[in-house]
């Protein structure tokens, strides 16, 4: 019961990583303010989860919604101990040569400004609370291009730097700030970001499940629980000497090219060796 009696606020809690984090924190004694724009999903989560889960509507693109969420949680329980800034979606998909200003702004509001103000409006309610800390969701997309659309990747890289800056700003108040960088995690984010529903979404999810099993050195698909466990560790007192840092939880996705772990995919030296063996010139 690492979070017995603690007040935990989670954004984007109705699905995927946020829902699993809600279940984990609640199972360890926390009062969880689980927020989302998906009211139906959020209320279902509130009902089905054992423990003290309180669903609240909060669109993280609205700073006013975020302020109300944090103020409300603090009013009900006396303060906030942990914030998990998790809400997100795929953002605008065009590359830098085609993206429009409003698409760029919407993506930054959803993925980066939301985290800044998730911190800004929670902190007044966290000061003076022992062990208070914040965990932000970044992504492997922050490591470099190629994992996501450009605006998403830039926002997630911004979350990493924001995490470091906030950690220094808030150290004097004893508030830690860390980030988690999920790899390919099997959630609704891919189909919902493409506006897929019903049968098409179901078919796409089967394909995604297959792809996520084969995407990285660890030979299984990444699950929301993998990320929730890392978030709970960072939020716990076991991580009390960690601030301004980030945990990659990606099954090794970012450590090496496919040929380093997939015997079916030859690397450059394998290809050259095969040519040599056949008596061909590599050129």
Residues that bind ligand NAD (CB under 6 A): 11-12, 14-18, 36-38, 58-61, 86-89, 110, 137, 139, 182, 184-185, 187-189, 192
Look-up of token digits 């008596």: 279
Alpha carbons 20 and 25: distance in angstroms, whole number: 9
CB of 261 to ligand NAD, least distance (A): 19
- Asked if residue 51 lies in contact with residue 44, where contact means CB atoms within 8 angstroms, the answer is no
Alpha carbons 270 and 227: distance in angstroms, whole number: 35
Per annotation, catalytic residue among 55, 121, 147, 152: 152
Alpha carbons 142 and 161: distance in angstroms, whole number: 10
152 is catalytic: yes
Nearer to ligand NAD, 131 or 222 (CB): 222
Alpha carbons 53 and 26: distance in angstroms, whole number: 7
Nearer to ligand NAD, 129 or 143 (CB): 143
**Residue 269 half-sphere exposure, CB side, CA atoms within 13 Å?**
3
Nearer to ligand NAD, 131 or 224 (CB): 224
Nearer to ligand NAD, 214 or 280 (CB): 214
Alpha carbons 123 and 143: distance in angstroms, whole number: 28
Look-up of token digits 């030859």: 266
CB of 8 to ligand NAD, least distance (A): 16
CB-count exposure of residue 245 (10 Å: 0-12, 13-18, 19+): middle
- Phi-psi map region of 73: left, alpha, beta (phi>0 left; psi -120 to 50 alpha): alpha
CB of 75 to ligand NAD, least distance (A): 21
Nearer to ligand NAD, 29 or 213 (CB): 213
CB of 275 to ligand NAD, least distance (A): 37
CB of 12 to ligand NAD, least distance (A): 3
**Vertex 253 angle, CA 249 and 256, to 5°:** 130
From residue 73, alpha-carbon distances to 58, 114, 128 in Å are 12, 17, 16
The catalytic site residues sit at 152
């Amino acid at each position: 019961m690492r979070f017995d009696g603690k007040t935990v606020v989670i954004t984007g809690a109705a699905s995927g990583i946020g829902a699993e984090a809600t279940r984990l924190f609640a199972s360890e004694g926390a009062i969880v303010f689980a927020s989302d724009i998906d009211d139906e999903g959020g209320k279902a989560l509130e009902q089905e989860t054992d423990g003290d889960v309180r669903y609240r509507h909060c669109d993280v693109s609205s700073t006013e919604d975020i302020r109300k969420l944090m103020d409300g949680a603090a009013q009900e329980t006396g303060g906030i101990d942990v914030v998990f800034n998790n809400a997100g979606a795929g953002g605008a998909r065009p590359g830098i040569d085609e993206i429009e200003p409003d698409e760029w702004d919407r993506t930054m509001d959803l993925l980066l400004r939301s985290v800044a103000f998730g911190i800004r409006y929670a902190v007044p309610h966290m000061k003076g609370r022992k062990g208070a800390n914040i965990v932000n969701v970044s992504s492997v997309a922050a490591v470099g291009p190629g994992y996501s659309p450009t605006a998403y990747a830039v926002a997630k890289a911004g979350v990493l730097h924001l995490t470091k800056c906030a950690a220094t700003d808030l150290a004097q108040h004893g508030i830690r700030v860390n980030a988690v960088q999920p790899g390919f995690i099997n959630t609704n984010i891919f189909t919902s970001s493409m506006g897929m529903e019903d049968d098409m979404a179901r078919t796409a999810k089967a394909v995604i499940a297959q792809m996520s099993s084969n995407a990285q050195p660890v030979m299984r698909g990444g699950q929301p629980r993998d990320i929730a466990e890392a978030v709970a560790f960072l939020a716990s007192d076991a991580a009390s000497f960690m601030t301004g840092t980030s945990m990659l939880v990606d099954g090794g996705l970012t450590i090496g090219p496919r040929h380093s772990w997939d015997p079916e995919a030859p690397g450059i030296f394998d290809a050259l060796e095969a040519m040599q063996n056949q008596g061909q010139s590599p050129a």
